[in-house]
Chains A and B, each alone.
Chain A
Amino acid sequence: MEKIKTEQLKPTLTKEDFISDQMVKWCPGCGDHAILSAFQKVLPQVGVKKEDVVVVSGIGCSSRFPYYVKSYGFHGIHGRAAALASGIKISNPELMVWMITGDGDSLAIGGNHFIHLLRRNLDINVMLFNNKIYGLTKGQFSPTTPTGHRTKSSPQGTIEHPFNVGELAIGAQGTFFARAVDTNPKMMAEIMLEASRHSGTSLIEIMQNCVIFNDKIHAEFTSRETRDDSQIYLEHGKPMLFGKENDKGIVLRGTRLEVVKLGQEGITIDDILVHDKYQWESGIHVLLATMEPPEYPIAVGVIRSISDFTFDGKMEAIIKEEKEKGKIKCVDDLLNSGKTWEI
């Protein structure tokens, strides 16, 4: 799809063009409000006509999203947003499809569809709201809830290993993985715009706060007091620096990443890893995606963005080729093909 018409279309559309007439019913203080607002701001910039935008979701708090966006929208059934989005995109690749989902929707009940969407690399933009809890069913643990975390269905603490979304996505051949936090609308918007321009499945994990059932689950890397030392914004081509004084950095020692301080033990800026989101080999990207406090800062920004063929692109190409060279041009041809006889 052509995604470079931004400049021509930008003046004609505004955020208001994408606000539906429905009352937003998320809890006050929910992180979803900020995500919705950032998304509505981005849509006028993505370079497609407003009727070519389709927003698809599964089930969960996040999945009410399509009702609030004035576009073509489909609120599906639990876990199946990826399959729904796939059918839409394959059917009409001219559409820009956004899939809104959550940690329960895509990593538990919809895990199968989620990994296969990534593997097929359909040109779909996915926003996975990760609040590490089931909100709509009122507080059971999810596949991303940290081990030992006490919830309504894990009163003694969970006894499961959580998924890391980036590691799972890259393992499933995902070509684009980014992470954002719901407290930084500007960064969210930038990442959404970049995701919309990536050809292939673009996955954005948005660390989103559930104010009712899992409040402050992301506080360590989102709160004003601690975030500078526990969050690193990765930018392509730039050294991986973070911290209040921007003097901490990431280096590769052996096969592990390590956090170092500039000036200590002779560390200079030249020792710090430079982010390459286009690197085909996924090793460093996985290491970056799996960094967690307290040992590491959590990585935000576009971690991986590689170029590979898409399912929908190949499908269109095959159909075009077959239509040109195939002998069967219409159903009458088909019915009369092969062995027939006359009576």
Chain B
Amino acid sequence: MTSKAQKVVELEHVVVRFAGDSGDGMQLTGSLFSDAAAIAGNDFATFPDYPAEIRAPQGTVAGVSGFQIHFGHKEIHTSGDMADVLVAMNPAPLKKNLMWVKPGGTIIVDNDTFIDKQLEKAGYSNNPLEDESLRDYNVIQAPVSTLTKTSVEDLGLDNKMVLKSRNMFALGIMFFIFNRKLSSADEFFEQKFRANPLVVESNKRILRAGYNYAESIEALSSITYKVEPAKLQKGIYRNITGNIATAWGFLAAAEKSGRQLFLGSYPITPASEILQELSKHKSLGVKVLQAEDEIAGIVSTIGASFAGSFAITTTSGPGLSLKSEAIGLAVMTELPIVIVDVQRAGPSTGMPTKSEQSDLMQALYGRNGEAPCIVIAASSSANCFYYAFEASKLAMEHMTPVILLTDGYLANGSEVFKIPKMSDLVEIKPPLAEANDPEYFPYKRDPERLNRKWAVPGTEGLRHRIGGLEKEDIYGHVSHDPENHQIMSEYRYEKVQRVAKYVEPQKVYGPEEGELLVVSWGGTYGVMMEAVQELHKQGKSVSLAHFHYINPLPRNTEEIFSKFKRIIVPELNMGQFVLHLRMHFQKFNFEQYNKVQGLPFMVKELVDKFNQMLEGK
């Protein structure tokens, strides 16, 4: 059969989605497929999609777990809209994911599982493989379960255990279709199951059985695909999720500043991985307190900051609400802390595993009194590293709380990350007070940045008291003086505003002036970029200003806005950044495009929207 003529089609980029029951090992399958893409030199981004329930009923739509990867020869910014290929291990994953497959796309199913009982659990009244419902797709029915069992029957393994490796048969098929090498998966088996050589052997055989099956079936073997390596810069790369990148950014900032890292945090979806990741790295001196609640999470952080640690707390929207009062305390005591809000769909408990950008107003204004904070947002899984580092630098050098916004998509999604060298990162120089400094006063400020000094307990000659009551300018004694409160309120405001002098000006992608400017922020960067690039390909003039600095806004913001006829602000909320912009720049007409479905924007819907606007609608 190998003599058969084979057509290899070259693709710019492909989206593959693996879907199965939550016990089918789809996350592992996806991650092994990602490793192979990495070895092939592709750029890629991934996103896991699993149920909120830990073990939802097997075989039902509620229990479906998915993993999507978008890889390509071109630069990849998102985990992709619709899938070119769907691998469905059972009827339920097919039912749940069919809407995410491109018309004409390929669907690979394990037809051994399309039996009455399973179909019924998935809510199918007819077998979709037998009626006409899949006629618009290229459906490949593979007897995955049967062939998995056959391939290892002489090893004498338990049938149930063998069937758990069904995912490796599916992976083998995908490896063939996309011309992948088997070596990375083999290495994984050898490492993971080193205590059990029989299991290593079984997995290797099942993987090859899938690979050989694909080669022998004409529907699969007649065309295979090749995605050429991406034109990535030279360097060492790894795959990283947003939450891990965030955790590592803080570790990097602690090392750069020479401060011990402290994390006070309470577990909450989708932020808990940051807590877990930092808990692993005690060899780097990280101290972690898993607090009794969100409030203790931030208040212990403030205590640690007072005591001289670089201290952070991590949470999601509901937790940020609980931390509000304490953020005010950090504003008042002018101590450096970073609060990470991995945003999820709200209000209240909302949709914990779904993403949204709806905590922006809370981050900016959700406190009693005049309590300004620096607010910045990461825009990709990998740059969570750099924005965590930046948040840390701003907090320490300006002596103020910083809120770092990420979201569920960035946090759980992964992408290719070019590993930096620590020596290439900028310095962080916290304004520590020197022992026995006769000029030290708790609220004496740097004339430029307006920050006070960080006088750490244990240092001789600097004993002082701070707290949540209003403080007298310079000396820091409790003060209820009316004019002093005015002065201190203005200092706290101005200190944050002056940060704009120390951060990068806003960049514009595309022409610097023109018909249409897309203004976005945070986790929607990838999809905005792909949409704008698509329009450029169509020869349209449209530009993108994607914001990372929310408060203060970059100093050249107004200048950028003034060069475009129309400005559209797409957000995954009801219009929060747009309100912020309207407040600051009243002379511009900001148009909105909003979505609150717990889903990301699709490139296509944005392209359509921007095209309509360019046509004058």
Contact = CB atoms under 8 A, between A and B. Distances in A.
Contacts of B350: none
A98 interface: no
A342 B235 contact: yes
Interface in B278-326: 281-285, 287, 289, 291-293, 295-296, 299-309, 311, 325-326
Interface of B: 35, 38-39, 41, 229, 232-239, 248, 251-252, 255, 260, 262, 264, 281-285, 287, 289, 291-293, 295-296, 299-309, 311, 325-326, 329, 333, 419-422, 457-469, 477-478
Given A87-B303, A112-B296, A77 B283 contact: no
A99 to B, nearest CB: 10
A159 interface: no
Nearest to A329: B283
Instruction: State which size class the interface on A falls in.
Output: 35 or more
Interface of A: 20, 22, 49-52, 54, 56, 59, 66-67, 70-77, 80, 82-92, 94-95, 112-113, 116, 315, 318-319, 322-323, 325-332, 334-336, 338-343
B287 A319 contact: yes
A340 B464 contact: no
Contact of B300 (A77, A86, A325, A335): A86
Contact of A87 (B235, B281, B304, B420): B304
A94 B302 contact: no
A330 B262 contact: no
A75 B468 contact: yes
Given A91-B308, A340-B237, A83 B422 contact: no
A335 to B, nearest CB: 5
B283 A322 contact: yes
Contacts of B283: 322-323, 325-329
24 contacts: A20-B465, A50-B463, A54-B457, A59-B468, A66-B467, A80-B295, A80-B299, A84-B300, A84-B306, A85-B303, A86-B303, A87-B262, A87-B304, A87-B305, A91-B308, A92-B308, A116-B292, A327-B283, A328-B284, A334-B248, A335-B248, A336-B236, A343-B229, A343-B233
Given A52-B457, A315-B287, A338-B238, A88 B419 contact: no
Query: Interface majority SS on B: helix, strand, loop or mixed?
Result: mixed
Contacts of A341: 38-39, 236-238
Contacts of A56: 303
Most-contacted residue by chain B among A52, A59, A72, A112 (CB, 10 A): A72
Given A75-B469, A335-B420, A86 B296 contact: yes
A63 B284 CA distance: 36
Contacts of B464: 72-73
A92 B238 contact: no
A328 B281 contact: yes
B468 A77 contact: yes
Nearest to B250: A331
B422 A332 contact: yes
B465 A66 contact: yes
Contacts of A20: 465
Given A67-B478, A323-B283, A331-B284, A76 B457 contact: no
A66 B274 CA distance: 34
A241 to B, nearest CB: 41
A38 B214 CA distance: 84
Given A328-B284, A343-B232, 19 more contacts: A51-B459, A51-B461, A66-B467, A67-B467, A74-B333, A76-B329, A77-B299, A83-B296, A84-B300, A84-B303, A90-B304, A112-B293, A112-B296, A116-B292, A116-B296, A328-B283, A330-B255, A330-B422, A331-B255
